[in-house]
Amino acid sequence: AAEEGFDIEDVEGAIEAAGHGPLPVLAVVGRPNVGKSTLVNRIIGRREAVVEDKPGVTRDRVTYEAEWAGRRFKVVDTGGWEQDVLGIDASVAAQAEYAIEAADAVVFVVDAKVGATDTDEAVVRLLRKAGKPVVLAANKVDGPSGEADAAYLWNLGLGEPHPVSALHGRGTGDMLDAVLEALPTAPAQTFGGTGIGGPRRIALIGRPNVGKSSLLNKVAGEERVVVNELAGTTRDPVDEMIELGGVTWKFVDTAGIRKRVHLQQGADYYASLRTAAAVEKAEVAVILLDASENISVQDQRIVTMAVEAGRAVVLAYNKWDTLDEERRYYLEREIETELGQVAWAPRVNVSARTGRHMEKLVPAIETALAGWETRVPTGRLNAFLGELVSAHPHPVRGGKQPRILFGTQAGTKPPRFVLFASGFIEAGYRRFIERRLREEFGFEGTPIHISVRVRE
């Protein structure tokens, strides 16, 4: 590295930064109007105000990446959701429950000017039961005079209230320091506790009516074993152990699959939050699509969610029994144009109704997980990069030719690469490298991350 003009510490730092693996997840929960969305904006440093005054606004995006004091984590925003037909307490509880399930730590936001309400108390009970680390944010403390209001919230029994003003930023730095203390360095959901060595975790996701519950019933029959039932809550996240192909798999968050939730407002948002939570808990996402219908924006969002979360991906086209030749032709064209971002995902064409190709599901899942865990030895990677760069050099720009000097794989699950270059590498050339990496090493069923460091 040194003779290529990179400082060894820079190289090590870059590799460490790129190799973080899955990020820990922080959920921000609380009643409507306490300032959750404002606080999330503040945490992720989003400039534009996304706080909407319109009731019933649904947001499909619920997780964001944030960084504080050099540490990165994900934030789940539960602020995009209006009170629904369940009534205020139940809806806040259900929403908080989803978010808490997927999280490694929770920021519980209370409006310090209003004080603790019964709904807040209900959330506190949920938080106690979940046993996740909690940071209590006493919001709307816009000046010193509000500090006393914040102090009242000691009563909630959640430890020190952190007085903040999400709107003006007051106190949020100290609160975030507390958040970093509460967050594990590696997400417990994925690598701690039952994660290691346990059954592989599958999220079966897809928009309503694509056939998720039919598929689950078909593959599992009566053999399913329900685990992780949290009693007494509105909607229980449930994981099920299902044996397929002689192996036990954990299907995460299957309550969302089986129970049909009838909501007027915020139903899409609810579904997105649920999907995001399941994806966070899983290693591989089996994305179910309805082959008889056009690929929709909602399908694409679900795909994007799984890819951005860095999960292994399998695409399953269901209802194959309904297809005629014409539809089949158009479907193939559609897949090419609409699902290019997951052209690398293994694909199965199934029918939950007839049982067609059910036996192909497990091999596809195994392929995707293998791609997700692939590690390319540094020697092999550099031999490959060396050949690639001399056969297909980067275009000359401004009289200079930027070159990839060397690279290394910083992590797996999904594979992450850091490339070190002598100058700015254009997006087109990066895509070219990704394509060639895939051709050479496989990576079927997995997103791959490539970051490029440029020598100063």
Q: Has 80 been labeled as part of a binding site?
A: yes
Q: Per-residue string for binding with ligand GDP, 225-264, x by CB under 6 A? A: --------------------------------x-------
Residue type at 379 in one-letter notation? G
Q: Has 36 been labeled as part of a binding site?
A: yes
Q: How far apart are CB 400 and ligand GDP at their closest, in Å?
A: 48
Contact 127, 106 (CB under 8 A): yes
Range 62-91, binding ligand GDP (CB under 6 A): 79
> What is the pairing mode between strands 63-68 and 71-77?
antiparallel
Contact 174, 218 (CB under 8 A): no
Q: Has 77 been labeled as part of a binding site?
A: yes
Q: If binding is defined by CB under 6 A, does position 446 make contact with ligand GDP? A: no
Q: If binding is defined by CB under 6 A, does position 99 make contact with ligand GDP? A: no
Stretch that binds ligand GDP, among 63-71, 219-227, 231-239, 347-355 (CB under 6 A): 347-355
Q: If binding is defined by CB under 6 A, does position 112 make contact with ligand GDP? A: no
**Cα angle vertex 186, ends 408, 134, to 5°?**
150
Which residue from 12, 13, 33, 226 is in contact with ligand GDP, where contact means CB under 6 A?
Answer: 33
Q: Which helix (H) or strand (E) holds 28?
A: strand 25-29
Q: Has 208 been labeled as part of a binding site?
A: yes
Phi, psi angle pair for 139, to nearest 5°: -90, 170
Residue nearest to ligand GDP (CB): 79
Which residue from 19, 21, 32, 442 is in contact with ligand GDP, where contact means CB under 6 A?
Answer: 32
Q: How far apart are CB 265 and ligand GDP at their closest, in Å?
A: 14
Report the Cα 127 to chain-centroid distance in Å. 21
Residue type at 132 in one-letter notation? K
Q: If binding is defined by CB under 6 A, does position 321 make contact with ligand GDP? A: yes
Contact 317, 347 (CB under 8 A): yes
Q: How far apart are CB 169 and ligand GDP at their closest, in Å?
A: 9
Please identify, using beta-carbon distances, which residue of 260 and 333 lies nearer to ligand GDP: 260
Please identify, using beta-carbon distances, which residue of 251 and 406 lies nearer to ligand GDP: 251
Q: If binding is defined by CB under 6 A, does position 293 make contact with ligand GDP? A: no
Tokens of 334: 């559609």
Instruction: Name the strands in the sheet holding 105-111, side by side, starting at the edge strand that comes first in the sequence.
Output: 63-68, 71-77, 25-29, 105-111, 134-139, 161-163
Q: If binding is defined by CB under 6 A, does position 367 make contact with ligand GDP? A: no
E-assigned strand segments in 373-433: 404-411, 416-421
Q: Has 206 been labeled as part of a binding site?
A: yes
Stretch that binds ligand GDP, among 15-23, 36-44, 171-179, 380-388 (CB under 6 A): 36-44
Q: How far apart are CB 51 and ligand GDP at their closest, in Å?
A: 4
Please identify, using beta-carbon distances, which residue of 176 and 257 lies nearer to ligand GDP: 257
Q: Which of 34, 21, 30, 119 is nearest to 72 (CA)?
A: 21
> What is the pairing mode between strands 347-349 and 449-454?
unpaired
Q: Would you call 415 exposed, middle or buried from its count of C-beta atoms within 10 A (0-12, 13-18, 19+)?
A: buried
Q: If binding is defined by CB under 6 A, does position 35 make contact with ligand GDP? A: yes
- Alpha carbon distance 320, 166 (integer Å): 50
Please identify, using beta-carbon distances, which residue of 135 and 448 lies nearer to ligand GDP: 135
Q: Has 34 been labeled as part of a binding site?
A: yes
Q: Which of 234, 26, 267, 28 is nearest to 122 (CA)?
A: 234
- Alpha carbon distance 243, 246 (integer Å): 6
Q: Per-residue string for binding with ligand GDP, 167-206, x by CB under 6 A? A: x--------------------------------------x
Q: Has 217 been labeled as part of a binding site?
A: no
Q: Has 294 been labeled as part of a binding site?
A: no
**Cα angle vertex 189, ends 163, 290, to 5°?**
110
Tokens of 241: 């152990």
Q: Which helix (H) or strand (E) holds 315?
A: strand 312-318
Please identify, using beta-carbon distances, which residue of 148 and 454 lies nearer to ligand GDP: 148
Q: If binding is defined by CB under 6 A, does position 273 make contact with ligand GDP? A: no
Tokens of 36: 């959750």
Q: If binding is defined by CB under 6 A, does position 327 make contact with ligand GDP? A: no
Q: How far apart are CB 9 and ligand GDP at their closest, in Å?
A: 40
Give 104's strand partners: none
Contact 37, 80 (CB under 8 A): yes
Residues that bind ligand GDP (CB under 6 A): 30, 32-38, 51, 79, 139-140, 142, 165-167, 206, 208-214, 257, 318-319, 321-322, 351-353
Q: Which residues are annotated binding-site positions for GTP?
A: 30-37, 77-81, 139-142, 206-213, 253-257, 318-321
Binding site: which residues?
30-37, 77-81, 139-142, 206-213, 253-257, 318-321
